Amino acid sequence: MSENPDTENLFGPALIADYVKRLPLKPGVYRMYDENEVVLYVGKAKHLKKRVTAYTSYKRHPIRLQRMIRATRRMEFVVTGSETEALLLEASLIKKLKPRYNILLRDDKSFPYILVRKDHDAPQIKKHRGAKKIKGDYYGPFASALAVNRTLDTLQRAFRLRNCSDSVYDARTRPCMLHQIKRCSAPCTGEIDNAGYGELIRDAEDFLQGKSDKLRNRLQDHMHAASKDLNFEKAAEFRDRLNALAQITGSSTGATSESFAEGDVIGIYSGGGQSCVQVFFFRAGQNWGNNAYFPRHSKDDDPAKVLDAFLAQFYMNKPIPKSIFVSEDLPSNELLQTALSERSGLNISISTPKRGEKKKLVNMAVKNAEEALARKLAETASQTKLLKQLADSLDLEAPPDRIEVYDNSHIQGTNAIGAFIVAGPEGLEKKEYRTFNIKDVETEPGDDYAMMREVMRRRFSRLLKDDALIWPDLVVIDGGKGQLSAVRETLEELGALERTTLVAIAKGPDRNAGRETFHMPGRTEFTLPPRTSVLYYLQRLRDEAHRFAIGTHRARRKKQMKSNPLDGIPGVGSGRKRALLSHFGSAKAVKNATKAELIKVEGVSQKLADIIYEYFHE
The answer on 407 and 550 residing in a single domain is: yes
Judged against a pLDDT cut of 50, whether residue 576 lies above it is answered with yes
Helix (H) or strand (E) holding 477: strand 474-478
Instruction: Rounding to the nearest 10 degrees, give the CA dihedral for residues 183, 189, 191, 196.
Output: 90
Residue 15's domain is classified under what CATH number? 3.40.1440.10
Looking at the domain assignment, is residue 126 inside a domain?
Answer: yes
**CA 90 centroid distance within chain:** 22
CA dihedral 412, 417, 422, 427 (to 10 degrees): -60
CB-based contacts of 181, cutoff 8 Å, min separation 6: none
Number of domain units in the chain:
5
Could you tell me if 186 and 312 lie in one domain?
A: no
Give CA–CA dist 491/452, Å, rounded.
11
Q: Beta-strand (E) ranges in 199-329? A: 263-271, 274-283, 286-293, 323-326
**Would you say the C-alpha torsion 518, 522, 524, 526 has a positive or negative sign?**
negative
Task: Kindly state the average pLDDT of the residues 79-105.
Answer: 92
Instruction: Report the pLDDT value the prediction gives residue 467, as an integer from 0 to 100.
Output: 72
Q: CB-hemisphere CA count at 13 Å for 349?
A: 9
Look at residues 247, 277, 299 and tell me which one is the last residue of a structural domain.
247
Say whether pLDDT at 392 is over 90: yes
| pLDDT digits 0-9 by tens, 484-535 | 999 999 999 999 888 899 999 988 665 556 678 999 998 999 998 887 889 9
What element of type H or E holds 49? helix 48-53
595 and 554: one domain?
no
Q: Do 407 and 547 have their domain in common?
A: yes
Amino acid at 618: E
Provide the CATH number for the domain around residue 539. Answer: 3.30.420.340
Domain that holds residue 357: 263-374
Residues 222 and 339 reside in one and the same domain = no
Neighbour-count burial for 274-285, b at 16+ CB within 10 Å, e otherwise? bbbbbbbbbbeb
Torsion of CA 333, 288, 278, 267, to 10 degrees: 50
Q: Above 60 in pLDDT, residue 606?
A: yes
pLDDT digits (tens, 9 = 90+) for 11-59: 889 999 999 999 999 999 999 999 888 899 999 999 999 999 999 988 8
Q: What pLDDT was estimated at residue 5?
A: 46
CATH of the domain at 600: 1.10.150.20
Asked if residue 419 and residue 549 are part of one domain, the reply reads: yes
Alpha carbons within 13 angstroms on the beta-carbon side of residue 137 total 11
Q: Are residues 552 and 409 in the same domain?
A: yes
What is the pairing mode between strands 474-478 and 501-506? Answer: parallel
Angle at 574 between CA 568 and CA 579, to 5 degrees: 105
Total Cβ atoms within 10 A of residue 504: 26
pLDDT tens by residue, 180-216? 888 898 999 988 898 889 988 988 888 888 777 777 7
pTM: 0.69
Percent of the chain at pLDDT exceeding 70: 90
Which helix or strand (DSSP H or E) is residue 436 part of?
Answer: strand 434-437
Spatial contact of 475 and 404, defined as CB atoms under 8 Å apart = yes
Compute the distance between CA of residue 406 and CA of residue 542 in angstroms, rounded to an integer. Answer: 8
Domain co-membership, 322 together with 361: yes
Helix (H) or strand (E) holding 363: helix 356-393
Residue 284, pLDDT above cutoff 90:
no
Same domain, 305 and 204: no
Q: Is residue 222 part of a domain?
A: yes
C-alpha dihedral sign at 382, 384, 386, 388 = negative
Segment 436-473, tens digit of pLDDT = 888 766 667 667 888 899 999 999 999 988 777 889 99
- For residue 110, give the DSSP letter: P
Measured distance CA(384)–CA(457) in Å, rounded: 31
**How far apart are the C-alpha atoms of 573 and 608, rounded to whole Å?**
12
Name the domain boundary from 247, 277, 302: 247
Question: The CATH number of the domain where 323 resides is what?
Answer: 3.30.420.10
The pLDDT assigned to 250 comes to 46
End-to-end alpha carbon distance in the chain: 52
| The predicted structure's pLDDT at residue 557 | 67
Q: Out of 544, 559, 574, pick the residue that ends a domain.
A: 559
In a domain, 188, yes or no: yes
CA distances 468 to 34, 92, 100, 518, Å, are 10, 20, 11, 31
Residue 469: Cβ within 10 Å count: 10
Is residue 382 a part of any domain in this protein?
no
Q: 419-428 pLDDT, tens per residue?
A: 999 999 888 8
Q: Is the pLDDT of residue 233 over 80?
A: no
> Is residue 394 in some structural domain?
no
Q: Is residue 379 part of a domain?
A: no
- Say if residue 108's pLDDT is above 90: no
In a domain, 253, yes or no: no
Question: 181 and 90 share a domain?
Answer: no
Residue 4 is predicted with a pLDDT of 53
- What is the average pLDDT across 157-171? 86
Q: Are residues 277 and 360 in the same domain?
A: yes
Of residues 541, 405, 418, 403, the one with CA closest to residue 472: 403
Residue 419 and residue 344 in one domain: no
Instruction: Name the strand (E) or helix (H) holding 181.
Output: none
Is residue 482 included in any domain, yes or no? yes
Specify whether the CB–CB gap between 204 and 189 falls below 8 A.
no
C-alpha 542, offset from chain centre: 22
